[in-house]
Structure 1
Amino acid sequence: MNFWERITGSDLTREWKAFEARAQALPADHQAAWGQIKTHLFPYGDFTGRGLLPILDAALGLLEEASAHGLSVREVLGDDIPGFCAALAGGEGARTYRDRWREQLNRNVARKLGRLGG
């Protein structure tokens, strides 16, 4: 990946299209699970989502393996897809982008108030 691809995000677009092409080859219930996984994993990403690519690749690979072996989504992921995604992202209580932004805002406000009060 060169500098221009990294700045424009064209490498992410290419990878994302490859993920979606792989997902289209899955059975309908596995495709629906892929949609839920994407929805529940995005809050754990950073601004670009670049850090999520290996996790999304692994999750899609798991769905592909399950499909190849004739396993249902429920047999592989269980009934709690949001919990599965939280575990993939670092366990229960993993920080989402909202948490990181909230902490940054609180630090900035505290720093400003410290300057005003002192």
Structure 2
Amino acid sequence: MKFRETKFWETVTGSDLTREWKAFEGRAEALPDDYRAAWDQIKVHLLPHGDFSGRNLLPILDSALGLLEETAADGQSVHEVLGDDIPGFCTALVGGEGARTYRDRWREQLNRNVARKLNRLGG
């Protein structure tokens, strides 16, 4: 029972996320400079696609970092791997062109709530 309580508490406090981010950053430190710069850009372009905690992005970030690690070890240039369009690469990772972001979902929910309240007032 203690394990479940600990895991629950880590999830609630986000300490598991902190550990994951530190592990990602530690792995990224071992990359060549151009790969680290690409990693920083990947994070910037993926974060808007995250949920409230960003927990849904962990597997995607792990895979992207793994790709960078493998290709750097193979001696490929970051340009060969990602090309010129890192934002497009990130969009493809999270579900393709036009993938909805948390802002889109939040905006739709807000619009539904406002419409409901206006309906109550008017009818």
Q: CA RMSD in A?
A: 0.8
Provide, for residues 53-105 of structure 1, a one-character-per-residue CA deviation record: whole Å limited to 9, x for no partner.
00000000000011000111110111100000000011111111111110011
Counterpart AA for 1:68: A
Residue 117 of structure 1 deviates from its aligned partner by 1.1
TM-score by length of 1: 0.98
- Selected match of 1:52 from 57, 74, 99: 57
Correspondences of 1:1-118 after superposition (within 5 Å): 2-118=7-123
Counterpart AA for 1:63: L
Counterpart AA for 1:52: L
Q: Count matched residues.
A: 118
Counterpart AA for 2:75: G
Return the alpha-carbon distance in structure 2 between the equivalents of residues 19 and 107 of structure 1. 38
Return the alpha-carbon distance in structure 2 between the equivalents of residues 113 and 2 of structure 1. 42
Structure 2 portions without partners, runs of 5+: 1-5
The alignment-based identity, stated in percent, is 80
Structure 1 portions without partners, runs of 5+: none
